[in-house]
């Protein structure tokens, strides 16, 4: 966590932060945590930079490209939490290979996440929710933490509504919030 200096005790990653509302709110609420936000679209990066400036945040670093390119450079077991919130669902079947939640990226996240670290996925696209749920539950390194329907129907208490979530809710769509923990490594 050299990139953040002293006083940072954990590292969290948000992949596809959109306008940065959630990332900025998490960083403001968790000043002892370093945040890396990945977003390839310049308008989203500009929006987050404005929020960083407005709130005086110093614990966010931005990677303005495809997150998969950066994952390879991070050390094993460095992440305490990962957010994939309302990512592009790539709804056309021929584009499903572009979805972030896939075996290769889940292998990378499993390598990067600390034992017990949390992976949060949220979407209003039920096809992508089913896709993500099937891949995450099939992955040996992740455990779904839901105890009942309220756990996937309710946004986590410490989460902030994203602009994409707000748009979905205004359209009357249901949102799903999945949470997984990184299983303990067997030594």
Q: From edge to edge, which strands make up the β-sheet containing 79-85?
A: 60-63, 33-38, 10-15, 79-85, 113-123, 176-182, 142-144
Rounded alpha-carbon distances, angstroms, from residue 23 to 31, 47, 142 = 12, 11, 23
Could you say which of 53, 66, 76, 88 is catalytic?
A: 88
> Structure tokens of 22?
């959630």
- Clarify whether 88 is annotated catalytic: yes
Known catalytic residues are 88
């Amino acid at each position: 966590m050299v990139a953040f200096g002293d006083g940072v005790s954990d590292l969290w990653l948000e992949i596809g932060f959109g306008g940065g509302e959630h990332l900025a709110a998490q960083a403001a609420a968790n000043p002892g945590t370093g945040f890396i936000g990945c977003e390839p679209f310049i308008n989203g990066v500009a929006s987050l930079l404005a929020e960083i400036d407005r709130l005086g945040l110093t614990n966010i670093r931005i990677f303005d490209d495809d997150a998969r390119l950066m994952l390879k450079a991070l050390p094993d077991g460095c992440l305490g939490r990962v957010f994939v919130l309302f990512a592009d669902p790539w709804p056309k079947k021929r584009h499903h290979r572009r979805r972030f939640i896939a075996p290769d990226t889940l292998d990378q996240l499993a390598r990067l996440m600390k034992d017990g670290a949390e992976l949060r996925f949220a979407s209003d696209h039920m096809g992508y929710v089913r896709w993500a749920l099937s891949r995450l539950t099939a992955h040996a390194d992740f455990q779904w933490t839901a105890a009942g329907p309220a756990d996937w129907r309710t946004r986590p208490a410490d989460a902030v509504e994203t602009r994409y979530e707000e748009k979905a809710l205004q359209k009357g769509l249901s949102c799903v919030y999945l949470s997984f923990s990184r299983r303990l490594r067997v030594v």
